[in-house]
Amino acid sequence: MGVLLTLPILIPLFTAALCLLAWRWWRVQRVLGLVSAFALLCAAAALLYRVRTEGIQAVQIGAWPAPYGISLVADLFSAMMVMITGILGAAVAVYSAGSLDKARQSFGYYPLYHVLLMGVCGAFLTGDIFNLYVWFEVMLMASFVLLALGGGQGQIEGALKYVTLNLMASSVFLAAVGLLYSVAGTLNMADLARKLRHAPEPGIVTVLAMLFLVAFGTKAATFPLFFWLPASYHTPPVAVSAIFAGLLTKVGVYALIRVFTLIFVRDDVYVHTLILVIAGLTMVTGVLGAIAQNEFRRLLSFHIVSQIGYMIMGLALFTPLGLAGSVLFIIHNILAKSNLFLVSGLAQRFGGTFDLKKLGGLYEEHPALAVLFLVPALSLAGLPPFVGFFAKLLLIKAGLEAGSYVIVAVALGVSLLTLFSMMKIWTEVFWKPAPQRHPAVRRRAGAGLWASTASLAALTLALGIAAGPAFDLSRDAAAQLVNPQSYIDAVSRAHR
């Protein structure tokens, strides 16, 4: 029973280890990597099914009881995040197998890719605040190497900014964990929730919560802590950008939602107003940054920032509907954003560059790619019938019901600006006639590239059509977040 909770960590761990052992044979690593990515996908699906049918799952590693040992916990939100990690992990594994240069494939790409997935899954599943820190470290190291691997000056420069700022966030996180332990005497998140709930006055806890806000806010790339993201995401190979774009910031958002629904729930008006302000500023500054760009991936990178604002908007509203909106928005955004990065890679393949001014003519030459761009782009702008519309609708509805008219106006305005900048890409890359052809153009792309890109687009459409079940899932996940008692209970009777 508990094994399902550990599989999303163990599968990538063993894959990474085996890949390291097979260092000399990169083709073996590639096969291993693909098989394991799909195994992770299956394990994630099994876990989600289990959580959906039987409720929150928890297990104590090493059979040490909570709060003394480390708990792994999967509520619906966690299980959904692991599921989407599995989906993205598989899609990008296929894409990278078909697009990465041989040098990178032979020098550590596969083991590090799976270490990254391990860190992400660990972060989603852990029920222990210090263990969360460890998973952040795992992610940070793996992502840093992936970012710097095989790169020229620009890539190394981006990687340095990335790692420096993220290490600062990690230090803040670590300090916060230490201080929290000195105040509450425990590290288990469910135990923390229980002990802090009855604390005499929440003052110091709120102050510590601010440290977590900074730490996770940096990881999630919220205003004004997002600088590392646009500085680095456009530099590595597209497959790496895509998996980063999909997963890394979302782990930060996940952590924000987790601690601010489970642990720091006492001083809600102050904290939630603060998060609401951050949400609005993140949306606006991110989208304005995107509008200012003329490079495909830079533009997309700023959009990641902007969309983070929507995800924490639901947290700030702190209503069941708002949180459901956040959950659905995260899922939608992971699909759409990674999809767009994969499209940028194909566009670069066919057009020879990421520079919007130098691209063009792909509407005629590759109409299929045009469709694959439009689906996630329109979903990102919140247009129906894609899942992005339904996610936005939930947030708007929650905002209007809560009477937070300003944030609703901001969210709607930013979605217009999002559309504006998506259509900028569309105009430049697809509609505009091709300027002088870049010499390094390829005419074709492998089936793997098309299949992985198309499958994400298909999911964006499918989740829109299946908006009913998708909403039910998000609503139930949000219900568990709003009433953390079931989470706490699950940990206290955790299977050893």
- Nearest-approach distance from CB 196 to other proteins, in angstroms: 7
Q: How far is CA 2 from CA 125, 298, 495, in A?
A: 12, 42, 7
Question: Per-residue b/e over 265-297, b at no fewer than 16 CB within 10 Å?
Answer: bbbeeebbebbbebbbebbbbbbebbbebeebb
Please select the residue that binds other proteins; options are 48, 58, 61, 92, rule is CB under 8 A: 61
CB of 494 to other proteins, least distance (A): 14
Interactions with other proteins, residue window 466-485 (CB under 8 A): 467-468, 470-472, 475
Asked if residue 273 binds other proteins (CB under 8 A), the reply is no
What track of x and - describes contact with other proteins for positions 356 through 385 (by CB under 8 A)? -------x---x----------x----xxx
E strand or H helix at 225, and its extent? none
Q: How far is CA 427 from CA 29, 240, 341, 361, 417, in A?
A: 40, 26, 17, 9, 15
Distance from the Cα of residue 431 to its chain's centroid: 30
- Our finding on whether 401 is near other proteins (CB under 8 A) is yes
Which residue number, 244 or 302, has a Cβ lying nearer to other proteins? Answer: 302
| Tokens, residue 422 | 């998506």
Residues 68-97 that bind other proteins (CB under 8 A): 68-70
- The site for other proteins, by CB under 8 A, has a size of 120
Single out the segment in contact with other proteins by CB under 8 A; choices: 39-47, 133-141, 309-317, 443-451. Answer: 133-141
Of 38, 45, 46, 107, the one binding other proteins (CB under 8 A) is 107
Task: For other proteins, give the closer residue by CB, 55 or 185.
Answer: 185
Asked if residues 326 and 81 have their Cβ atoms less than 8 Å apart, the reply is no
Burial class (CB in 10 A: 0-12, 13-18, 19+), 22: middle
The reply on whether position 423 binds other proteins by CB under 8 A is yes
Residues 6+ apart with CB under 8 A from 485: none
CB of 284 to other proteins, least distance (A): 9
Which residues 450-469 are close enough to bind other proteins by CB under 8 A?
467-468
Site for other proteins in 163-222 (CB under 8 A): 164-165, 168-169, 172, 175, 179, 181-187, 191, 195-196, 199-201, 203-204, 206-211, 213-214, 218
Instruction: Report which of 137, 121, 131, 267 is spatially closest to residue 186, judged by C-alpha positions.
Output: 131
Q: Among 50-58, 227-235, 245-253, 440-448, which window interacts with other proteins (CB under 8 A)?
A: 227-235
Please report where in the chains the tokens 């998973």 appear, as a residue: 135
Q: How far is the CB of 55 from other proteins (least distance, A)?
A: 20
Residue 41 burial (CB count, 10 A): 22
As given in the structure block, the two tokens for residue 285 are 């500054």
Q: Which is nearer to other proteins, 53 or 153 (CB)?
A: 153
Q: Which residues contact 479 (CB under 8 A, 6 or more apart)?
A: 320
- The residue among 274 and 458 lying less far from other proteins, judged by its C-beta, is 274
Q: How far is the CB of 118 from other proteins (least distance, A)?
A: 7
Give me the 232-271 binding string for other proteins, x by CB under 8 A, dash otherwise.
--------------------------------------x-
Considering beta carbons, is residue 230 or 309 the nearer one to other proteins?
A: 230
CB of 471 to other proteins, least distance (A): 5
Nearest CA to 328 out of 263, 257, 240 is that of 257
d(Cα 468, Cα 324) in Å, to the nearest integer? 13
Contacts for 413 with CB less than 8 Å, ≥ 6 apart: none
Match 């989603």 to its residue by tokens: 124
Q: Which of 98, 150, 352, 446 binds other proteins (CB under 8 A)?
A: 150
Q: Which CB sits closer to other proteins, 95 or 110?
A: 110
Choice from 21, 27, 42, 427 touching other proteins (CB under 8 A): 427
In the block, tokens 């030459």 appear at 365
What residue has token string 């599995």? 86
Give the number of C-alpha atoms closer than 13 A to the C-alpha of residue 217, restricted to the C-beta side: 22
CB of 213 to other proteins, least distance (A): 6
Q: Is 445 helix (H, G, I), strand (E, B) or coil?
A: coil
Distance of CA 110 to the CA centre of its chain: 20
Q: Are 221 and 228 in contact (CB under 8 A)?
A: yes
Q: Could you tell me the smallest distance in angstroms from the CB atom of residue 131 to other proteins?
A: 6
441 contacts other proteins (rule: CB under 8 A): no
Indicate which single residue of 28, 34, 46, 161 sits in contact with other proteins (rule: CB under 8 A).
Answer: 161
CB of 119 to other proteins, least distance (A): 8
Rg from Cα positions in the chain = 21
Of 284-343, binders to other proteins (CB under 8 A) are 285, 288-293, 302
Structure tokens at 203: 């003052």
Distance between CA atoms of residues 347 and 344, nearest Å: 5
Separation CA 312–CA 278 (nearest Å): 8
* Contact track, other proteins, 26-55, x by CB under 8 A: ------------------------------
Is 436 among the residues that bind other proteins (CB under 8 A)? no
Q: Which of 48, 83, 100, 148 binds other proteins (CB under 8 A)?
A: 148
